[in-house]
């Protein structure tokens, strides 16, 4: 998944979607994932990075990671929405 | 967008580079919970880089807050309600302009526009007062009651609507609409109805206030997004800022909003100005559905109360309107700051009784 190009991401974890005016707060891990997505890292690369950096098992990261992507999609932060905006 | 050049004019600033002094008369001083745009327009004009404005407030009621905001309005004159007719209003403006030399008149209410559009030529010819208003044809065509037709003609998606004149028409509405539907007044107010009883109740309430017809519009789910814009009357967009309402009052008014980066809304606005050659400021009200479809709900034929956000975003649209009124060249403003927000607030002013007495008895303050 890719993050929309015009999404503004601050270091505090504040995310702003200028197309819809919506804003969100994410925790430090969420912020890390969004930044990696914005850098066009693949899901495998991101999951590997999280596994290496944090004390977490593979099945938990698998579940939480895809939950998080679903949330990004539902809130129109994924690049698929670029087509219409 | 191609830059627009109107007619060649001397620079607005004088030889010393100072701002030129002009007098602008402004209505809509009712900065209340459902605010008129007057105070926002004046704030914009006071921040003009080209004009040093003297502001003449034109009020209808004695408790319009702008009357008492002396740092905003220099002098206020009460004027007759629009229902008093053109002759009475003109007569009052004739008196006011014998005291104040008004360069530009800046009306801000839908309900008064008809009169001001009608008397625009006379105001200019006899009193030297300039305006920059839509033509009567443009003004009439965008009425809520004509919006369906307007949408079809100009290629805009508009939720289906129809006029009704009596509560007897309510039972048959389900042939053309599904619940919920929106019940709207001719000029102001709208309410959502979920059943025939609610339609009847809103019909009675709104028609008692604003008269007939009542407009029934198909309800569309989505986010309310609006555009504040100005057209030069030749089909060009001089400025446009899209905004999403973030906090909405129980009267449906934006109490907070944020400027959006929405190419589609800007395209829709340009399309509308190109098709209609709209002259002056306006507000376009859209609903954006979850499927990213845009439906035009209303065209308000004047700047909205949130017009000061355009100044905050880098487009002084009221200043552009004054320049256009004076026949001066205006370059289209194509950039604005995305993510700028406005948050409205209320403020209790302490007013001495003698001020209230003056405006109540003399009609001037």
DSSP string, chain A: --B-TT-EE-TTSEEE-TTT--EEE--HHHHHHHHHHHTT--HHHHHHHHHHHSS--HHHHHHHHHHHHHHHHHTT-BGGGGGT-
Cis preceding-peptide flag for B180 (omega within 30 of 0): yes
A10 touches chain B (CB under 8 A): no
| pLDDT level of residue B251 (50, 70, 90 thresholds) | confident
What does the alpha-carbon distance between residue B357 and residue B70 come to, in Å, rounded to a whole number?
16
Q: Nearest-CA distance from B265 to chain A in Å?
A: 10
Cβ atoms of B278 and B364 within 8 Å: the answer is: no
CA distances in angstroms from B177 to B11, B12, B97, B207, listed in the order given? 55, 53, 51, 20
Neighbours of A60 (CB within 10 A): 12
Kindly provide the b/e burial profile for residues B334-351, where b requires at least 16 CB atoms within 10 angstroms of the residue's own CB. Answer: eebebebbbebeeeeeee
Q: Is the pLDDT of residue B280 over 60?
A: yes
Residues B65-84 have pLDDT tens digits of 999 999 999 999 999 999 99
Domain boundaries, given as residue ranges, for chain B? 20-131+348-361, 160-218
Whole-number pLDDT of residue B273: 92
Residue of A nearest to B222 (CA): A20
Residue of A nearest to B258 (CA): A21
**In this predicted model, which residue has the larger pLDDT, B302 or A79?**
B302
Q: Is the pLDDT of residue B2 over 60?
A: no
Residues pairing with B214 in the sheet: B164
Whole-number pLDDT of residue B13: 62
N- to C-terminal Cα separation, chain B: 44
A24 touches chain B (CB under 8 A): no
**In this predicted model, which residue has the larger pLDDT, A38 or B23?**
B23
Contact A20 B244 (CB under 8 A): yes
Mean pLDDT is highest, among A74-83, B16-25, B46-55, for: B46-55
Q: What are phi and psi of B236, to 5 degrees?
A: -95, 145
Contact B292 A84 (CB under 8 A): yes
Q: Is the pLDDT of residue A84 over 50?
A: no
What are the chain A neighbours of B339 within 8 Å (beta carbons)? 8, 16, 18
What are the chain B neighbours of A85 within 8 Å (beta carbons)? 262-264, 292
| pLDDT level of residue B206 (50, 70, 90 thresholds) | very high
B351 touches chain A (CB under 8 A): no
What is the C-alpha radius of gyration for chain A, rounded to an integer number of angstroms? 13
Both structure tokens of B199 = 């339609």
What are the chain A neighbours of B260 within 8 Å (beta carbons)? 18-21
Q: What are phi and psi of B139, to 5 degrees?
A: -65, -45
B99 touches chain A (CB under 8 A): no
Strand B294-300 relative to strand B237-248, pairing: unpaired
Whole-number pLDDT of residue B290: 82
Q: Nearest-CA distance from A22 to chain B in Å?
A: 9
What's the rounded mean pLDDT across residues B102-123? 96
Q: Which residue has 């999403």 as its token pair? A: B244
Q: B137: exposed, middle or buried (C-beta count within 10 Å: 0-12, 13-18, 19+)?
A: exposed
What does the alpha-carbon distance between residue A78 and residue A70 come to, in Å, rounded to a whole number?
9
Nearest to B244 among A6, A21, A81 (CB): A21
Nearest to A16 among B257, B263, B339 (CB): B339
In 3-state terms chain B splits into helix, strand, coil percentages (rounded to 5) of 35, 25, 40
CA distances in angstroms from A4 to A29, A80, B228, B264, B265, listed in the order given? 19, 8, 26, 16, 18
Whole-number pLDDT of residue A1: 83
Residue of A nearest to B290 (CA): A76
What does the alpha-carbon distance between residue B304 and residue B295 come to, in Å, rounded to a whole number?
19
Domain boundaries, given as residue ranges, for chain A? 8-78
N- to C-terminal Cα separation, chain A: 17
What's the rounded mean pLDDT across residues B304-333? 97
Residues B39-53 have pLDDT tens digits of 999 999 999 999 999
DSSP summary character for residue B235: S
Q: Is the pLDDT of residue B107 over 80?
A: yes
Contact A85 B246 (CB under 8 A): no
Whole-number pLDDT of residue A85: 37
Cβ within 8 Å of residue A34, ≥6 positions away: A3, A9, A15, A26, A72, A77
B264 touches chain A (CB under 8 A): yes
What's the rounded mean pLDDT across residues B50-70? 96
Whole-number pLDDT of residue A82: 47
Residues A28-39 have pLDDT tens digits of 999 999 999 989
Asked whether the ipTM of the predicted complex exceeds the cut of 0.90, the reply is no
What does the alpha-carbon distance between residue B288 and residue B266 come to, in Å, rounded to a whole number?
14
**3-state SS assignment for residue B7:** coil
Q: B160-218: which CATH number, 3.90.1150.10, 3.30.1490.20, 3.40.220.10, 2.40.110.10?
A: 3.30.1490.20
Cβ atoms of B206 and B191 within 8 Å: the answer is: yes
Whole-number pLDDT of residue B5: 40
Contact A19 B258 (CB under 8 A): no
Q: Is the pLDDT of residue B8 over 50?
A: no
Q: B20-131+348-361: which CATH number, 3.40.50.20, 3.30.70.2740, 1.10.3720.10, 3.40.640.10?
A: 3.40.50.20
B223 touches chain A (CB under 8 A): yes
Q: Nearest-CA distance from A67 to chain B in Å?
A: 21
Average pLDDT, chain B: 91
DSSP summary character for residue B365: -
Q: Is the pLDDT of residue B15 over 60?
A: no
Q: B71: exposed, middle or buried (C-beta count within 10 Å: 0-12, 13-18, 19+)?
A: exposed
| pLDDT level of residue B188 (50, 70, 90 thresholds) | confident
State the best of B247, B256, B257, B262 to mutate against chain A, taking most chain A CBs within 10 Å.
B262
Half-sphere exposure of B12 (CA within 13 A, CB side): 20
What are the chain B neighbours of A16 within 8 Å (beta carbons)? 339
What does the alpha-carbon distance between residue B71 and residue B54 come to, in Å, rounded to a whole number?
11
B263 touches chain A (CB under 8 A): yes
Residues pairing with B298 in the sheet: B285
Contact A18 B338 (CB under 8 A): yes
Whole-number pLDDT of residue B35: 92
| pLDDT level of residue B1 (50, 70, 90 thresholds) | very low
Nearest to B261 among A6, A81, A84 (CB): A6
What does the alpha-carbon distance between residue B311 and residue B47 come to, in Å, rounded to a whole number?
8
Q: Is the pLDDT of residue A45 over 90?
A: yes
Residue of B nearest to A15 (CA): B339
């Amino acid at each position: 998944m890719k993050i929309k190009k015009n999404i503004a991401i601050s270091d505090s974890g504040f995310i702003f979607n200028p197309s819809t005016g919506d804003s969100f707060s994410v925790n430090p891990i969420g912020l890390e994932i969004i930044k990696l997505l914005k850098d066009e890292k693949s899901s495998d690369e991101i999951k590997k990075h999280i596994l290496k950096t944090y004390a977490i098992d593979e099945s938990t990261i698998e579940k939480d990671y895809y939950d998080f992507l679903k949330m990004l999609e539902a809130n129109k932060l994924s690049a698929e929405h670029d087509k219409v905006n | 967008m191609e830059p627009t050049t109107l007619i060649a004019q001397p620079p607005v600033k004088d030889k010393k580079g100072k701002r030129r002094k002009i007098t602008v008369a402004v209505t809509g001083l009712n900065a209340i919970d459902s605010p008129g745009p007057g105070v926002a327009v004046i704030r914009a004009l006071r921040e003009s880089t080209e004009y040093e404005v003297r502001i003449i407030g034109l009020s209808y009621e004695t408790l319009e807050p702008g009357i008492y905001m002396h740092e905003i309005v220099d002098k206020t004159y009460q004027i007759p309600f629009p229902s008093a007719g053109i002759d009475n209003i003109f007569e009052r403006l004739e008196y006011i302009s014998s005291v104040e030399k008004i360069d530009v008149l800046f009306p801000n209410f839908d309900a008064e526009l008809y009169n001001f559009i009608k008397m625009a030529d006379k105001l200019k010819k006899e009193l030297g007062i300039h305006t920059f208003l839509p033509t009567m044809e443009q003004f009439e065509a965008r009425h809520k009651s004509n919006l369906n037709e307007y949408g079809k003609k100009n290629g805009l998606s508009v939720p289906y609507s129809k006029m009704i004149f009596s509560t007897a028409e309510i039972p048959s509405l389900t042939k053309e609409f599904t619940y919920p539907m929106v019940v709207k007044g001719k000029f102001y107010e709208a309410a959502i109805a979920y059943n025939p009883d609610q339609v009847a109740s809103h019909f009675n309430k709104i028609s008692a206030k604003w008269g007939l017809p009542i407009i029934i519009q198909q309800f569309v789910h989505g986010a309310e997004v609006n555009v504040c814009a100005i057209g030069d009357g030749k089909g060009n967009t001089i400025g446009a800022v899209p905004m999403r309402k973030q906090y909405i009052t129980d009267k449906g008014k934006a109490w907070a909003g944020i400027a959006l980066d929405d190419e589609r809304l800007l395209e829709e606005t340009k399309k509308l100005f190109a098709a209609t050659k709209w002259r002056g400021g306006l507000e376009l009200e859209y609903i954006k559905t979850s499927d990213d479809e845009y439906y035009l709900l209303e065209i308000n034929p004047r700047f909205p109360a949130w017009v000061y956000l355009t100044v905050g975003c880098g487009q002084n649209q009221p200043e552009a309107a004054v320049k256009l009124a004076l026949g001066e060249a205006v370059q289209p403003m194509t950039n604005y700051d995305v993510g700028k927000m406005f948050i409205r607030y209320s403020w209790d002013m302490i007013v001495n009784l003698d001020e209230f007495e003056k405006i109540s008895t003399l009609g001037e303050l």
